[in-house]
Amino acid sequence: MTTQKPSLPEIPPELQDNVRLMPWDKLYNWGRKRSLWPLFTGLACCAFEFIAAAASRFDLGRFGMDIARASPRQADLMIVSGTVTKKMAPQVVRLYNQMAEPKYVIAMGACAISGGPFKEGYNVVSGVDKLIPVDVYVPGCPPRPEALYNAILTLHAKMEREPIRSLPWYQGGVGDDGIPVPALGPDMVDWQVVGECDLERSK
Ligand code: SF4
């Protein structure tokens, strides 16, 4: 797909050292990507790598993300670091719904991506993308802080490409209902083993 570059007016030569012109989208997205506020969603051991990424040796402050929020109301980036258990799944979805648009999700670590070493465990969701949309996946068990940094830069690149006039959350009224919160029970059935369960029951 080719994107047409917007034409910008010429800057007179005497002003070229002092004046920069850029499309509104670029300026707006530059501000957004440099002011992401992460919601700390540390669910298991990967959370320690996220904590390390935020500490002084690595320093998330370079991206304008100094503080991981404990409240979804002030956060627009959910970093899911750790195993999503079926017991925790409703809380993850509820927090995601409470975040303000536009919002993004990074799935950090094998567990958040697919269930990791606990995949198909009776109590583990096989990836947080079964519950909420994920923008960037960070593989590893656990991924190092550098990998998380690469994911943040990947997310920045994605945000830069977003044309703000056509995004759904600026059109009004979109996404008000949120994602249905899964209930422990029918929504959490592991369909891969349902047949086996029926067989066991019929014995
Ligand atoms: S991916 Fe590995 S380090 Fe991360 S939460 Fe799962 S088991 Fe722990």
Rounded distance from Cα 121 to ligand 1 centre (Å)? 14
Q: Give, using CA atoms, the residue closest to atom 5 of ligand 1.
A: 82
pLDDT of residue 48: 94
Substitution site in 41, 43, 46 for ligand 1 pocket (most atoms within 8 Å of beta carbon)? 46
Q: How many residues does the chain have?
A: 203
- Give every CB contact of residue 195 below 8 A, 6+ residues apart in sequence: none
Question: Quick one: pLDDT at residue 178?
Answer: 82
In short, whether 127's Cβ falls inside 6 Å of ligand 1 is no
pLDDT value of position 195: 66
Query: How many other CB atoms sit within 10 Å of the CB of residue 40?
Result: 17
Q: Tell me, what's the pLDDT at 1?
A: 47
pTM tops 0.75, yes or no: yes
- The pLDDT value given to residue 192: 63
| C-alpha closest to that of 151 among 80, 74, 71, 93 | 80
- Tell the residue nearest (CA) to atom 6 of ligand 1: 111
Give distance in angstroms: CA of 47 to centre of ligand 1. 9
Can you list the residues of the chain whose pLDDT is less than 70?
Answer: 1-6, 172-176, 185-187, 189-203
For 113-133, the pLDDT digits (tens) are 999 999 888 889 999 999 999
Predicted confidence at residue 40, as pLDDT, reads 83
Q: Walk me through the domains of the chain, giving residue ranges and CATH numbers.
A: 22-164+180-202 (3.40.50.12280)
Pocket test for ligand 1, best of 51, 111, 118 (most atoms within 8 A of CB): 111
